[in-house]
Amino acid sequence: GAVVSQHPSRVICKSGTSVKIECRSLDFQATTMFWYRQFPKQSLMLMATSNEGSKATYEQGVEKDKFLINHASLTLSTLTVTSAHPEDSSFYICSASDSYEQYFGPGTRLTVT
Amino acid sequence: GENVEQHPSTLSVQEGDSAVIKCTYSDSASNYFPWYKQELGKRPQLIIDIRSNVGEKKDQRIAVTLNKTAKHFSLHITETQPEDSAVYFCAASSNTDKLIFGTGTRLQVFP
């Protein structure tokens, strides 16, 4: 099946700093990429939908100025958590779609101290 | 907005028994219904999916049924094994490709 990678797998940062997470589709060109956030023992919550070359579409309640998404190519999307705070600590998972199925990355565990 | 409800939140079964997880969705435009298995700290893994043009699909011990009229779909796992223990999520999607996830079911299979 299709492979999606994420980098880094774990990151610890200090409150007030910014963190960038990369999501890559390794063996296919993704028409759309998605970013999810998952708090402990909870479900995956969609944050935004990202299409190559256009602005991301954010879900209600997700601050677009805080969670910056750049989708520069059909194989790479990045999520930058700006001015991170402890409440942003979570498991961030991306997925890439080939219009038939979504393929998930391995996730990034963000801890903000 | 779209909503997917999932029940039960936890399910404990004896090895060899069957497990059933049910989901309902609100968006009548939904036409794709995948099920994911997620182990702690790992990515969700697609275990089976169904599209709105069929009512049932089976893959070995796993089956999914879909009732579009009632907006229900269910996951059935037969002959459960301890390695089936995980959190299971249903999801629903329309042509927009956006997946809306259910709240999850923690399945424990006791040997």
Report yes or no: B52 and B66 within 8 Å, Cβ to Cβ: yes
Q: Which of residues 8-27 of A touch B (CB under 8 A)?
A: none
Report yes or no: B14 and B79 within 8 Å, Cβ to Cβ: no
Residue A85 CA to residue B30 CA, distance in Å, equals 36
Residue A43 CA to residue B102 CA, distance in Å, equals 7
Confidence of residue A8 (pLDDT cuts 50, 70, 90): very high
* C-alpha distance from B60 to closest chain A C-alpha (Å): 19
* C-alpha distance from A109 to closest chain B C-alpha (Å): 8
Spell out which residues of chain B touch residue A93, defining contact as CB-CB under 8 Å.
Answer: 43-44
Phi, psi of B101 (to 5 degrees): -90, 150
A42 interfacial to chain B (CB closer than 8 Å): yes
pLDDT the model gives residue B96: 63
Q: What is the pLDDT along chain B (111 residues), one digit of tens a residue?
A: 789 999 999 999 999 999 999 999 999 999 999 999 999 999 999 999 999 888 999 999 999 999 999 999 999 999 999 999 999 999 999 866 789 999 999 999 999
Cα angle B71-B89-B99, degrees, rounded to a multiple of 5 = 65
Confidence of residue A31 (pLDDT cuts 50, 70, 90): confident
Is a pLDDT exceeding 90 seen at residue A72? no
Using alpha carbons, select from B107, B95, B92, B97 the residue that is nearest to residue B2.
Answer: B92
Cα angle A44-A85-A87, degrees, rounded to a multiple of 5 = 40
Q: Which residue of A has its CA nearest to B50?
A: A101
At position B23, the amino acid (one-letter code) is: C
A99: Cβ contacts below 8 Å, ≥ 6 apart? A31, A32, B97
* Cβ–Cβ below 8 Å for A91 and B101: no
Report yes or no: B43 and A93 within 8 Å, Cβ to Cβ: yes
* C-alpha distance from A43 to closest chain B C-alpha (Å): 5
B53: Cβ contacts below 8 Å, ≥ 6 apart? none
Look up residue A28 and give its DSSP letter: S
Percent of chain A with pLDDT over 90: 81
Tokens, residue A110: 């963000």
pLDDT the model gives residue B99: 93
B46 interfacial to chain A (CB closer than 8 Å): yes
Is a pLDDT exceeding 80 seen at residue A58? yes
Residue A34 CA to residue A77 CA, distance in Å, equals 9
